[in-house]
Chain A
Amino acid sequence: MAAPADQTILRLSRPFWLLAGISFLCLVLGATYLMHAQNRTAIQSSQMLFSTVVESRLTRLSELVLEYGYWDEAVDNLVDDVNEE
Protein backbone atom coordinates (compact mmCIF):
# COMPACT_ATOMS: atom_id res chain seq x y z
CA MET A 1 0.00 0.00 0.00
CA ALA A 2 1.43 3.34 -1.05
CA ALA A 3 2.06 6.03 1.51
CA PRO A 4 -0.21 9.11 1.40
CA ALA A 5 2.65 11.19 -0.04
CA ASP A 6 3.07 8.63 -2.83
CA GLN A 7 -0.62 8.76 -3.58
CA THR A 8 -0.63 12.54 -3.61
CA ILE A 9 2.30 12.69 -6.01
CA LEU A 10 0.78 10.00 -8.21
CA ARG A 11 -2.47 11.96 -8.26
CA LEU A 12 -0.65 15.19 -9.08
CA SER A 13 1.41 13.50 -11.78
CA ARG A 14 -1.64 11.91 -13.43
CA PRO A 15 -1.80 14.56 -16.19
CA PHE A 16 1.86 13.91 -16.90
CA TRP A 17 1.25 10.18 -17.25
CA LEU A 18 -1.74 10.85 -19.47
CA LEU A 19 0.30 13.18 -21.64
CA ALA A 20 3.17 10.70 -21.78
CA GLY A 21 0.78 7.90 -22.79
CA ILE A 22 -0.87 10.00 -25.49
CA SER A 23 2.53 11.14 -26.76
CA PHE A 24 3.77 7.56 -26.94
CA LEU A 25 0.61 6.46 -28.75
CA CYS A 26 1.02 9.33 -31.23
CA LEU A 27 4.65 8.32 -31.77
CA VAL A 28 3.66 4.71 -32.43
CA LEU A 29 0.88 5.76 -34.80
CA GLY A 30 3.19 8.19 -36.56
CA ALA A 31 5.90 5.55 -36.90
CA THR A 32 3.37 3.05 -38.26
CA TYR A 33 2.07 5.58 -40.74
CA LEU A 34 5.61 6.42 -41.87
CA MET A 35 6.41 2.73 -42.21
CA HIS A 36 3.27 2.26 -44.30
CA ALA A 37 4.08 5.26 -46.48
CA GLN A 38 7.66 4.11 -46.95
CA ASN A 39 6.54 0.62 -47.95
CA ARG A 40 3.98 2.03 -50.39
CA THR A 41 6.63 4.26 -51.94
CA ALA A 42 9.01 1.30 -52.25
CA ILE A 43 6.29 -0.84 -53.85
CA GLN A 44 5.35 1.92 -56.29
CA SER A 45 8.99 2.37 -57.25
CA SER A 46 9.38 -1.35 -57.74
CA GLN A 47 6.20 -1.52 -59.84
CA MET A 48 7.33 1.40 -61.95
CA LEU A 49 10.67 -0.27 -62.52
CA PHE A 50 9.01 -3.52 -63.50
CA SER A 51 6.62 -1.71 -65.83
CA THR A 52 9.60 -0.15 -67.56
CA VAL A 53 11.27 -3.55 -67.85
CA VAL A 54 8.18 -5.09 -69.45
CA GLU A 55 7.76 -2.18 -71.84
CA SER A 56 11.41 -2.44 -72.76
CA ARG A 57 11.06 -6.15 -73.39
CA LEU A 58 8.01 -5.66 -75.61
CA THR A 59 9.78 -2.92 -77.53
CA ARG A 60 12.79 -5.13 -78.06
CA LEU A 61 10.56 -7.94 -79.32
CA SER A 62 8.83 -5.54 -81.70
CA GLU A 63 12.16 -4.39 -83.05
CA LEU A 64 13.25 -7.98 -83.46
CA VAL A 65 10.16 -9.03 -85.38
CA LEU A 66 10.35 -5.91 -87.50
CA GLU A 67 13.88 -6.74 -88.39
CA TYR A 68 13.11 -10.37 -89.11
CA GLY A 69 10.09 -9.44 -91.23
CA TYR A 70 12.52 -8.42 -93.95
CA TRP A 71 14.80 -11.32 -93.47
CA ASP A 72 15.48 -12.95 -96.80
CA GLU A 73 16.38 -16.26 -95.29
CA ALA A 74 13.10 -16.34 -93.45
CA VAL A 75 11.36 -15.76 -96.77
CA ASP A 76 13.46 -18.43 -98.32
CA ASN A 77 12.23 -20.84 -95.72
CA LEU A 78 8.66 -20.21 -96.70
CA VAL A 79 9.17 -21.74 -100.10
CA ASP A 80 10.38 -25.25 -99.74
CA ASP A 81 11.01 -25.79 -103.41
CA VAL A 82 13.18 -22.71 -103.73
CA ASN A 83 15.63 -22.94 -100.88
CA GLU A 84 14.93 -24.66 -97.68
CA GLU A 85 18.31 -24.31 -96.13
Chain B
Amino acid sequence: MHVLDGKNTVVFSSVDGERVDADPLQRYETGLARLLADARNVEPATAPIPATGFLRKGGTYYLVSAIRMTTYFEVDDKEIDLGTDHVMVFAEALDAEFLPATADGYMLPNLAIIGQPQGLWIARHGFETYGGGEQAFFAWDPDLPGSVLLPKLMLGLGAVFILMLLVARNFVRRAADVAQSLEDARRQAERANRAKSEFVRTVTHEVRTPVNAILGFAQVLQREMFGPLGSPKYAEYADDIVQAGDYMLDLVGDLLDLERIESGKASLSPEVMDANEALASAVSYVEPMATDKGLVLALQPMEGVAEIRSDPRALHQILLNLLSNAVKFTPPGGEVACRTFAKGSDAIAIQVADTGPGLSAAQIEKVLQPFGQIDSAQVDLGKGGKKRGSGLGLPIARRLTEALGGVFDFASILGRGTTVTLILPVDR
Protein backbone atom coordinates (compact mmCIF):
# COMPACT_ATOMS: atom_id res chain seq x y z
CA MET B 1 0.00 0.00 0.00
CA HIS B 2 1.28 3.45 -0.84
CA VAL B 3 -0.06 6.88 -0.10
CA LEU B 4 0.94 9.77 -2.33
CA ASP B 5 0.42 13.45 -1.78
CA GLY B 6 -0.64 15.97 -4.38
CA LYS B 7 2.90 16.08 -5.81
CA ASN B 8 2.95 12.31 -6.18
CA THR B 9 5.48 12.02 -3.44
CA VAL B 10 5.08 8.82 -1.53
CA VAL B 11 4.39 9.75 2.00
CA PHE B 12 3.68 6.26 3.25
CA SER B 13 4.42 2.72 2.12
CA SER B 14 3.74 -0.59 3.68
CA VAL B 15 4.31 -4.14 2.54
CA ASP B 16 2.28 -6.90 4.09
CA GLY B 17 1.22 -4.54 6.86
CA GLU B 18 4.78 -3.45 7.71
CA ARG B 19 5.82 0.14 7.01
CA VAL B 20 8.75 0.36 4.60
CA ASP B 21 10.78 3.10 2.97
CA ALA B 22 8.60 5.17 0.79
CA ASP B 23 10.35 4.87 -2.52
CA PRO B 24 9.32 1.64 -4.35
CA LEU B 25 6.40 3.23 -6.07
CA GLN B 26 8.73 5.40 -8.13
CA ARG B 27 9.87 2.34 -9.99
CA TYR B 28 6.54 1.35 -11.45
CA GLU B 29 7.34 1.67 -15.08
CA THR B 30 4.21 1.98 -17.14
CA GLY B 31 0.84 3.50 -16.63
CA LEU B 32 1.41 4.83 -13.12
CA ALA B 33 0.86 8.48 -14.09
CA ARG B 34 -2.34 7.59 -15.88
CA LEU B 35 -3.54 5.53 -12.95
CA LEU B 36 -2.99 8.40 -10.52
CA ALA B 37 -4.61 10.86 -12.88
CA ASP B 38 -7.67 8.64 -13.24
CA ALA B 39 -7.89 8.22 -9.48
CA ARG B 40 -7.80 12.00 -8.97
CA ASN B 41 -10.03 12.77 -11.94
CA VAL B 42 -13.16 12.75 -9.87
CA GLU B 43 -15.04 15.81 -8.73
CA PRO B 44 -14.26 16.52 -5.07
CA ALA B 45 -17.94 16.63 -4.25
CA THR B 46 -18.56 13.15 -5.56
CA ALA B 47 -17.64 9.91 -3.95
CA PRO B 48 -14.17 8.64 -4.97
CA ILE B 49 -14.03 5.88 -7.58
CA PRO B 50 -11.14 3.38 -7.67
CA ALA B 51 -8.99 3.16 -10.79
CA THR B 52 -7.88 -0.45 -11.27
CA GLY B 53 -5.57 -2.27 -13.63
CA PHE B 54 -2.13 -3.74 -14.17
CA LEU B 55 1.27 -2.19 -13.68
CA ARG B 56 4.75 -3.55 -14.17
CA LYS B 57 7.74 -2.98 -12.01
CA GLY B 58 10.97 -4.63 -13.08
CA GLY B 59 9.93 -7.99 -14.44
CA THR B 60 6.95 -8.29 -12.14
CA TYR B 61 3.37 -7.46 -12.92
CA TYR B 62 1.05 -6.05 -10.28
CA LEU B 63 -2.63 -5.73 -9.87
CA VAL B 64 -3.13 -2.16 -8.74
CA SER B 65 -6.04 -0.11 -7.55
CA ALA B 66 -5.85 3.58 -6.67
CA ILE B 67 -8.37 5.91 -5.09
CA ARG B 68 -8.51 9.57 -4.10
CA MET B 69 -8.41 9.65 -0.33
CA THR B 70 -10.95 11.36 1.86
CA THR B 71 -8.69 13.16 4.31
CA TYR B 72 -10.79 15.08 6.69
CA PHE B 73 -10.12 14.54 10.31
CA GLU B 74 -10.12 16.45 13.55
CA VAL B 75 -7.22 17.46 15.78
CA ASP B 76 -8.09 19.05 19.06
CA ASP B 77 -11.66 19.47 17.91
CA LYS B 78 -10.38 21.31 14.91
CA GLU B 79 -11.12 19.91 11.49
CA ILE B 80 -8.05 19.66 9.36
CA ASP B 81 -8.33 19.36 5.62
CA LEU B 82 -5.35 17.83 3.90
CA GLY B 83 -6.85 18.52 0.45
CA THR B 84 -8.10 16.14 -2.21
CA ASP B 85 -4.88 15.20 -3.98
CA HIS B 86 -3.79 12.38 -1.77
CA VAL B 87 -4.06 9.04 -3.43
CA MET B 88 -3.88 5.59 -1.94
CA VAL B 89 -2.51 2.81 -4.12
CA PHE B 90 -2.88 -0.90 -3.45
CA ALA B 91 -0.54 -3.13 -5.42
CA GLU B 92 -0.56 -6.92 -5.41
CA ALA B 93 2.30 -8.78 -7.08
CA LEU B 94 0.80 -11.38 -9.37
CA ASP B 95 3.59 -13.89 -9.28
CA ALA B 96 3.87 -13.85 -5.54
CA GLU B 97 0.38 -14.88 -4.67
CA PHE B 98 -2.14 -14.64 -7.42
CA LEU B 99 -0.56 -16.97 -9.98
CA PRO B 100 0.27 -19.90 -7.66
CA ALA B 101 -3.06 -19.65 -5.87
CA THR B 102 -5.04 -19.45 -9.10
CA ALA B 103 -3.06 -22.25 -10.74
CA ASP B 104 -3.70 -24.51 -7.78
CA GLY B 105 -7.27 -23.45 -7.14
CA TYR B 106 -8.49 -23.63 -10.70
CA MET B 107 -6.20 -26.36 -12.02
CA LEU B 108 -4.38 -24.21 -14.55
CA PRO B 109 -1.02 -25.93 -14.94
CA ASN B 110 2.04 -23.81 -15.71
CA LEU B 111 0.15 -20.54 -15.31
CA ALA B 112 2.57 -17.71 -16.09
CA ILE B 113 2.74 -14.25 -17.58
CA ILE B 114 4.53 -14.14 -20.91
CA GLY B 115 4.95 -11.74 -23.80
CA GLN B 116 3.51 -13.72 -26.66
CA PRO B 117 2.27 -17.31 -26.25
CA GLN B 118 3.29 -19.80 -28.95
CA GLY B 119 1.49 -23.02 -29.76
CA LEU B 120 -1.97 -24.16 -30.76
CA TRP B 121 -3.06 -25.66 -27.48
CA ILE B 122 -1.99 -22.86 -25.10
CA ALA B 123 -4.80 -21.11 -23.23
CA ARG B 124 -4.24 -17.37 -22.83
CA HIS B 125 -5.77 -14.27 -21.41
CA GLY B 126 -4.35 -11.00 -22.69
CA PHE B 127 -4.08 -7.80 -20.73
CA GLU B 128 -2.44 -4.39 -21.00
CA THR B 129 -0.72 -2.37 -18.34
CA TYR B 130 -2.73 0.59 -17.25
CA GLY B 131 -3.53 3.16 -19.92
CA GLY B 132 -2.74 1.01 -22.96
CA GLY B 133 0.88 0.35 -22.11
CA GLU B 134 2.50 -3.01 -22.64
CA GLN B 135 0.68 -6.08 -23.88
CA ALA B 136 1.18 -9.33 -21.99
CA PHE B 137 -0.61 -12.62 -21.55
CA PHE B 138 -1.52 -14.98 -18.82
CA ALA B 139 -0.82 -18.37 -20.37
CA TRP B 140 -1.28 -21.88 -19.09
CA ASP B 141 -1.62 -25.45 -20.28
CA PRO B 142 -5.31 -26.23 -20.39
CA ASP B 143 -6.91 -29.60 -19.92
CA LEU B 144 -7.26 -31.09 -23.43
CA PRO B 145 -9.85 -33.88 -23.35
CA GLY B 146 -9.77 -34.24 -27.14
CA SER B 147 -6.03 -34.94 -27.13
CA VAL B 148 -6.57 -37.57 -24.48
CA LEU B 149 -9.49 -39.11 -26.33
CA LEU B 150 -8.01 -39.04 -29.83
CA PRO B 151 -5.29 -41.67 -29.33
CA LYS B 152 -7.83 -43.99 -27.76
CA LEU B 153 -10.27 -43.32 -30.57
CA MET B 154 -7.58 -43.86 -33.18
CA LEU B 155 -6.54 -47.04 -31.44
CA GLY B 156 -10.14 -48.24 -31.50
CA LEU B 157 -10.62 -47.26 -35.12
CA GLY B 158 -7.36 -48.89 -36.08
CA ALA B 159 -8.36 -52.06 -34.28
CA VAL B 160 -11.75 -52.07 -36.01
CA PHE B 161 -10.11 -51.42 -39.36
CA ILE B 162 -7.58 -54.18 -38.87
CA LEU B 163 -10.37 -56.51 -37.77
CA MET B 164 -12.34 -55.53 -40.85
CA LEU B 165 -9.31 -56.20 -43.04
CA LEU B 166 -8.81 -59.60 -41.45
CA VAL B 167 -12.48 -60.48 -41.90
CA ALA B 168 -12.41 -59.25 -45.50
CA ARG B 169 -9.19 -61.15 -46.15
CA ASN B 170 -10.76 -64.27 -44.73
CA PHE B 171 -13.85 -63.67 -46.84
CA VAL B 172 -11.74 -63.21 -49.98
CA ARG B 173 -9.86 -66.40 -49.23
CA ARG B 174 -13.05 -68.33 -48.65
CA ALA B 175 -14.64 -66.86 -51.75
CA ALA B 176 -11.52 -67.76 -53.70
CA ASP B 177 -11.69 -71.29 -52.32
CA VAL B 178 -15.35 -71.58 -53.26
CA ALA B 179 -14.65 -70.14 -56.71
CA GLN B 180 -11.78 -72.58 -57.11
CA SER B 181 -14.00 -75.46 -56.00
CA LEU B 182 -16.66 -74.40 -58.47
CA GLU B 183 -14.06 -74.11 -61.19
CA ASP B 184 -12.72 -77.55 -60.33
CA ALA B 185 -16.24 -78.95 -60.28
CA ARG B 186 -16.95 -77.34 -63.64
CA ARG B 187 -13.82 -78.80 -65.14
CA GLN B 188 -14.61 -82.17 -63.66
CA ALA B 189 -18.16 -81.97 -65.03
CA GLU B 190 -16.79 -80.99 -68.41
CA ARG B 191 -14.42 -83.92 -68.32
CA ALA B 192 -17.24 -86.22 -67.28
CA ASN B 193 -19.44 -84.82 -70.01
CA ARG B 194 -16.73 -85.31 -72.59
CA ALA B 195 -16.22 -88.85 -71.34
CA LYS B 196 -19.97 -89.45 -71.48
CA SER B 197 -20.16 -88.08 -75.01
CA GLU B 198 -17.23 -90.18 -76.07
CA PHE B 199 -18.83 -93.21 -74.46
CA VAL B 200 -22.19 -92.56 -76.15
CA ARG B 201 -20.52 -92.03 -79.51
CA THR B 202 -18.42 -95.16 -79.18
CA VAL B 203 -21.23 -97.34 -77.92
CA THR B 204 -23.75 -96.16 -80.47
CA HIS B 205 -21.26 -96.65 -83.29
CA GLU B 206 -20.34 -100.06 -81.97
CA VAL B 207 -24.00 -101.03 -81.48
CA ARG B 208 -25.19 -99.72 -84.81
CA THR B 209 -23.03 -102.09 -86.86
CA PRO B 210 -24.21 -105.39 -85.31
CA VAL B 211 -27.80 -104.12 -85.13
CA ASN B 212 -27.68 -103.38 -88.84
CA ALA B 213 -26.37 -106.87 -89.43
CA ILE B 214 -29.08 -108.41 -87.26
CA LEU B 215 -31.69 -106.30 -89.00
CA GLY B 216 -30.41 -107.30 -92.42
CA PHE B 217 -30.40 -110.98 -91.60
CA ALA B 218 -33.83 -110.71 -89.99
CA GLN B 219 -35.20 -109.05 -93.12
CA VAL B 220 -33.69 -111.88 -95.21
CA LEU B 221 -35.57 -114.31 -93.03
CA GLN B 222 -38.72 -112.19 -93.09
CA ARG B 223 -38.74 -112.13 -96.89
CA GLU B 224 -37.82 -115.83 -97.08
CA MET B 225 -35.14 -115.00 -99.65
CA PHE B 226 -33.54 -118.44 -99.44
CA GLY B 227 -36.70 -120.51 -99.27
CA PRO B 228 -39.70 -120.90 -96.93
CA LEU B 229 -39.13 -120.77 -93.22
CA GLY B 230 -41.54 -123.58 -92.53
CA SER B 231 -43.37 -122.87 -89.31
CA PRO B 232 -45.37 -119.56 -89.23
CA LYS B 233 -43.84 -118.91 -85.82
CA TYR B 234 -40.46 -118.30 -87.55
CA ALA B 235 -42.05 -115.57 -89.70
CA GLU B 236 -43.59 -114.01 -86.62
CA TYR B 237 -40.24 -114.05 -84.80
CA ALA B 238 -38.52 -112.55 -87.83
CA ASP B 239 -41.05 -109.69 -87.76
CA ASP B 240 -40.33 -109.17 -84.08
CA ILE B 241 -36.59 -109.08 -84.74
CA VAL B 242 -37.06 -106.48 -87.48
CA GLN B 243 -39.27 -104.30 -85.26
CA ALA B 244 -36.82 -104.52 -82.36
CA GLY B 245 -33.95 -103.74 -84.71
CA ASP B 246 -35.73 -100.68 -86.09
CA TYR B 247 -36.39 -99.50 -82.55
CA MET B 248 -32.76 -99.95 -81.61
CA LEU B 249 -31.57 -98.06 -84.68
CA ASP B 250 -33.96 -95.21 -83.89
CA LEU B 251 -32.73 -95.17 -80.30
CA VAL B 252 -29.11 -95.12 -81.38
CA GLY B 253 -29.84 -92.29 -83.85
CA ASP B 254 -31.69 -90.27 -81.22
CA LEU B 255 -28.89 -90.77 -78.72
CA LEU B 256 -26.35 -89.54 -81.23
CA ASP B 257 -28.52 -86.53 -82.08
CA LEU B 258 -29.05 -85.61 -78.44
CA GLU B 259 -25.36 -85.96 -77.66
CA ARG B 260 -24.44 -83.73 -80.62
CA ILE B 261 -26.94 -81.06 -79.56
CA GLU B 262 -25.88 -81.09 -75.92
CA SER B 263 -22.21 -80.93 -76.76
CA GLY B 264 -22.90 -78.07 -79.17
CA LYS B 265 -21.65 -80.11 -82.09
CA ALA B 266 -24.95 -80.24 -83.93
CA SER B 267 -24.21 -78.90 -87.39
CA LEU B 268 -26.95 -76.40 -88.08
CA SER B 269 -27.04 -74.45 -91.32
CA PRO B 270 -29.80 -71.87 -91.09
CA GLU B 271 -31.21 -70.67 -94.37
CA VAL B 272 -34.30 -68.95 -95.59
CA MET B 273 -37.13 -71.42 -95.96
CA ASP B 274 -40.90 -71.68 -96.04
CA ALA B 275 -42.44 -72.97 -92.82
CA ASN B 276 -45.59 -73.98 -94.70
CA GLU B 277 -43.59 -76.25 -96.97
CA ALA B 278 -41.64 -77.74 -94.08
CA LEU B 279 -44.87 -78.52 -92.22
CA ALA B 280 -46.55 -79.99 -95.31
CA SER B 281 -43.53 -82.17 -95.97
CA ALA B 282 -43.49 -83.53 -92.41
CA VAL B 283 -47.24 -84.10 -92.48
CA SER B 284 -46.89 -86.16 -95.64
CA TYR B 285 -44.56 -88.53 -93.78
CA VAL B 286 -47.03 -89.32 -91.02
CA GLU B 287 -50.18 -89.15 -93.13
CA PRO B 288 -50.24 -92.91 -93.93
CA MET B 289 -49.88 -93.80 -90.24
CA ALA B 290 -52.66 -91.35 -89.32
CA THR B 291 -54.92 -92.73 -92.01
CA ASP B 292 -54.28 -96.30 -90.88
CA LYS B 293 -55.20 -95.29 -87.33
CA GLY B 294 -58.35 -93.50 -88.40
CA LEU B 295 -57.19 -90.03 -87.36
CA VAL B 296 -58.13 -86.74 -88.95
CA LEU B 297 -54.92 -84.96 -89.94
CA ALA B 298 -55.74 -81.32 -90.63
CA LEU B 299 -53.21 -78.93 -92.19
CA GLN B 300 -53.87 -75.20 -92.00
CA PRO B 301 -50.95 -73.23 -93.41
CA MET B 302 -51.02 -69.44 -93.11
CA GLU B 303 -51.63 -67.44 -96.23
CA GLY B 304 -48.70 -66.50 -98.39
CA VAL B 305 -45.13 -67.55 -97.74
CA ALA B 306 -44.20 -68.22 -94.14
CA GLU B 307 -40.58 -67.26 -94.57
CA ILE B 308 -38.32 -68.17 -91.68
CA ARG B 309 -34.60 -68.58 -91.18
CA SER B 310 -33.93 -72.11 -90.00
CA ASP B 311 -32.12 -75.35 -90.70
CA PRO B 312 -34.39 -77.46 -92.96
CA ARG B 313 -33.06 -80.80 -91.79
CA ALA B 314 -33.32 -79.93 -88.10
CA LEU B 315 -36.80 -78.44 -88.52
CA HIS B 316 -37.90 -81.54 -90.40
CA GLN B 317 -36.63 -83.71 -87.54
CA ILE B 318 -38.46 -81.57 -84.97
CA LEU B 319 -41.74 -81.66 -86.87
CA LEU B 320 -41.46 -85.39 -87.50
CA ASN B 321 -40.92 -86.01 -83.78
CA LEU B 322 -43.92 -83.88 -82.84
CA LEU B 323 -46.21 -85.28 -85.51
CA SER B 324 -45.26 -88.89 -84.92
CA ASN B 325 -45.85 -88.41 -81.18
CA ALA B 326 -49.24 -86.82 -81.89
CA VAL B 327 -50.25 -89.62 -84.22
CA LYS B 328 -48.89 -92.33 -81.91
CA PHE B 329 -50.71 -91.18 -78.79
CA THR B 330 -53.99 -89.91 -80.24
CA PRO B 331 -56.65 -92.62 -80.07
CA PRO B 332 -58.47 -93.67 -83.25
CA GLY B 333 -61.11 -91.16 -84.32
CA GLY B 334 -59.12 -88.30 -82.87
CA GLU B 335 -57.68 -85.32 -84.68
CA VAL B 336 -54.22 -83.93 -85.22
CA ALA B 337 -54.29 -80.30 -86.38
CA CYS B 338 -51.22 -78.63 -87.84
CA ARG B 339 -51.07 -74.95 -88.70
CA THR B 340 -48.73 -72.04 -89.16
CA PHE B 341 -49.46 -68.47 -88.19
CA ALA B 342 -47.66 -65.20 -87.64
CA LYS B 343 -46.54 -64.53 -84.09
CA GLY B 344 -46.01 -60.82 -83.92
CA SER B 345 -43.98 -59.10 -86.60
CA ASP B 346 -40.75 -61.03 -86.18
CA ALA B 347 -41.75 -64.66 -85.66
CA ILE B 348 -43.82 -67.41 -87.19
CA ALA B 349 -45.41 -70.19 -85.17
CA ILE B 350 -45.80 -73.81 -86.23
CA GLN B 351 -48.37 -75.60 -84.12
CA VAL B 352 -49.23 -79.27 -83.74
CA ALA B 353 -52.31 -79.98 -81.64
CA ASP B 354 -53.86 -83.34 -80.93
CA THR B 355 -56.87 -84.68 -79.10
CA GLY B 356 -54.82 -87.35 -77.33
CA PRO B 357 -54.90 -88.28 -73.62
CA GLY B 358 -52.98 -85.15 -72.62
CA LEU B 359 -50.51 -84.79 -69.77
CA SER B 360 -50.51 -83.34 -66.27
CA ALA B 361 -48.03 -80.62 -65.32
CA ALA B 362 -45.76 -83.15 -63.61
CA GLN B 363 -45.88 -85.41 -66.64
CA ILE B 364 -45.02 -82.51 -68.93
CA GLU B 365 -41.93 -81.80 -66.87
CA LYS B 366 -40.96 -85.43 -67.06
CA VAL B 367 -41.44 -86.00 -70.79
CA LEU B 368 -39.32 -82.98 -71.64
CA GLN B 369 -36.31 -84.57 -69.92
CA PRO B 370 -34.19 -87.16 -71.78
CA PHE B 371 -35.55 -90.67 -71.26
CA GLY B 372 -38.38 -89.15 -69.23
CA GLN B 373 -41.26 -91.40 -70.14
CA ILE B 374 -44.55 -91.82 -68.40
CA ASP B 375 -46.10 -95.21 -67.82
CA SER B 376 -48.88 -94.74 -70.36
CA ALA B 377 -46.41 -93.84 -73.13
CA GLN B 378 -46.62 -97.17 -74.88
CA VAL B 379 -47.34 -97.49 -78.49
CA ASP B 380 -49.72 -100.10 -79.68
CA LEU B 381 -47.87 -102.12 -82.29
CA GLY B 382 -50.88 -104.14 -83.23
CA LYS B 383 -51.25 -107.88 -82.75
CA GLY B 384 -51.40 -107.21 -79.00
CA GLY B 385 -47.82 -105.96 -78.94
CA LYS B 386 -46.77 -102.67 -77.40
CA LYS B 387 -43.49 -100.82 -77.27
CA ARG B 388 -42.19 -97.83 -75.44
CA GLY B 389 -40.67 -94.86 -77.24
CA SER B 390 -37.06 -93.94 -76.59
CA GLY B 391 -38.08 -90.91 -74.55
CA LEU B 392 -35.74 -88.73 -76.55
CA GLY B 393 -38.04 -87.28 -79.20
CA LEU B 394 -39.39 -84.31 -77.23
CA PRO B 395 -36.07 -83.38 -75.56
CA ILE B 396 -34.39 -83.44 -78.97
CA ALA B 397 -37.17 -81.32 -80.48
CA ARG B 398 -36.95 -78.79 -77.67
CA ARG B 399 -33.15 -78.50 -77.74
CA LEU B 400 -33.06 -78.26 -81.53
CA THR B 401 -35.72 -75.51 -81.47
CA GLU B 402 -33.71 -73.56 -78.92
CA ALA B 403 -30.53 -74.13 -80.92
CA LEU B 404 -32.33 -72.59 -83.89
CA GLY B 405 -33.13 -69.50 -81.85
CA GLY B 406 -36.77 -70.42 -81.42
CA VAL B 407 -39.13 -71.02 -78.52
CA PHE B 408 -40.56 -74.45 -77.73
CA ASP B 409 -43.97 -74.13 -76.05
CA PHE B 410 -45.52 -77.34 -74.76
CA ALA B 411 -49.08 -77.14 -73.44
CA SER B 412 -51.23 -80.07 -72.46
CA ILE B 413 -54.42 -80.73 -70.54
CA LEU B 414 -54.99 -84.16 -69.10
CA GLY B 415 -57.82 -85.85 -70.96
CA ARG B 416 -58.14 -83.15 -73.61
CA GLY B 417 -54.99 -83.19 -75.68
CA THR B 418 -51.62 -81.62 -76.25
CA THR B 419 -50.55 -78.56 -78.21
CA VAL B 420 -46.94 -77.93 -79.13
CA THR B 421 -46.01 -74.57 -80.65
CA LEU B 422 -42.66 -73.72 -82.19
CA ILE B 423 -42.02 -70.00 -82.48
CA LEU B 424 -39.28 -69.40 -84.99
CA PRO B 425 -37.68 -66.13 -86.05
CA VAL B 426 -38.55 -64.78 -89.49
CA ASP B 427 -35.82 -64.00 -91.95
CA ARG B 428 -34.45 -60.48 -91.52
Contacts and interface: CB of A to CB of B under 8 A. Distances in A.
Q: Do A and B come from one complex?
A: yes
Interface of A: 3, 5-6, 8-10, 13, 16-17, 20, 24, 27-28, 31-32, 34-39, 42-43, 46-47, 49-51, 53-54, 57-58, 61-62, 64-66, 68-70, 72, 74-79, 82
A50 B102 CA distance: 8
- Which DSSP category, helix, strand, loop or mixed, fits chain B's interface? mixed
B179 A78 contact: no
Contacts of A50: 102, 106, 108, 123, 125, 138, 140
A31 B161 contact: no
Given A43-B123, A53-B106, A61-B52, 7 more contacts: A39-B147, A50-B102, A54-B125, A58-B63, A65-B89, A69-B48, A78-B86
A13 B179 CA distance: 14
A70 B63 CA distance: 21
Contacts, number: 147
Contact of B142 (A34, A43, A62): A43
B176 A66 contact: no
5 contacts: A38-B145, A50-B123, A58-B63, A68-B1, A78-B86
Given A61-B63, A72-B73, A82-B75, A46 B123 contact: yes
A24 B38 CA distance: 61
A8 B88 CA distance: 89
A39 B157 contact: no
Interface stretch (B64-72, B254-262, B291-299, B387-395): B64-72
B106 A62 contact: no
A16 B169 CA distance: 12
A46 B106 CA distance: 9
A59 to B, nearest CB: 8
Interface residues of B, number: 60
Of all A-B residue pairs in the complex, the 10 with the closest CB atoms, nearest first, are A35-B146, A38-B146, A5-B179, A39-B146, A35-B150, A62-B50, A65-B65, A61-B65, A46-B142, A69-B67
Contact of A47 (B64, B124, B175): B124
B299 to A, nearest CB: 55
- Counting chain A CB atoms within 10 Å of each CB, the highest count among B3, B102, B157, B176 belongs to B176
A78 B143 contact: no
Contacts of A3: 176, 180
Contacts of A49: 106
A68 B67 CA distance: 9
Given A43-B123, A50-B108, A78-B3, A38 B149 contact: yes
B12 interface: yes
Contacts of B145: 38-39, 42
A79 B71 CA distance: 11
Given A39-B146, A43-B123, A78 B106 contact: no
B150 A57 contact: no
- Counting chain A CB atoms within 10 Å of each CB, the highest count among B50, B64, B90 belongs to B50
B410 interface: no
A58 B176 contact: no
A74 B4 CA distance: 12
B90 A68 contact: yes
Given A36-B146, A65-B66, A78-B11, A20 B86 contact: no
Contact of B168 (A13, A28, A53): A13
A79 to B, nearest CB: 7
B414 interface: no
A17 B169 CA distance: 11
A10 B180 contact: no
Interface string B78-116: 001010001011101000001000100010100000000
